[in-house]
């Protein structure tokens, strides 16, 4: 009986989910109105972050999913979106953007 219980416990997945993280702005411009949505959905949730270029800010966040799109208003250049950002098991997310408007993320 103990063996069956032990096997059931091992085969049950542990749900990590997204938690708070540090947002680092390395885009070359200030960011405002930072928001997140689950990848594949349309509902944006404000993260309450405005981040100067080169600055970092703590973001309070909790969700059972891991994959999110992030968007922000870029000073003097409209809106930018970072797609399919993994917010599980990360301590910081660095948003990057080149002069052509391409976006990517680095993780710590």
pLDDT by position in tens, the chain (length 108): 444 444 344 433 445 688 889 999 999 999 999 999 999 999 999 998 789 999 999 999 899 999 999 999 999 999 999 999 999 989 999 999 999 999 999 999
pLDDT for position 11: 38
Under 8 Å between Cβ of 80 and 100: no
pLDDT for position 9: 41
pLDDT for position 19: 86
pTM: 0.82
Residue 100 DSSP one-character state: T
Q: Tell me the three state secondary structure of residue 4.
A: helix
Instruction: Give the Cβ contact number of residue 68 at 10 Å.
Output: 24
Give all domains of the chain, ordered by start, each with its CATH number. 18-107 (2.60.40.2890)
pLDDT for position 16: 65
């Amino acid at each position: 009986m103990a063996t069956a219980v032990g096997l059931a416990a091992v085969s049950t997945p542990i749900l990590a989910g997204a938690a708070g993280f540090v947002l680092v702005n390395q885009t070359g411009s200030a960011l405002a109105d930072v928001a997140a949505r689950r990848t594949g959905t349309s509902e944006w949730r404000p993260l309450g972050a405005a981040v100067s270029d080169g600055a970092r800010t703590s973001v309070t966040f909790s969700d059972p999913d891991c994959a999110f799109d992030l968007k922000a208003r870029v000073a003097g250049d409209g809106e930018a979106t970072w797609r399919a950002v993994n917010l599980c098991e990360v301590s910081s997310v660095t948003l990057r953007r080149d002069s052509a408007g391409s976006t990517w993320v680095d993780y710590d």
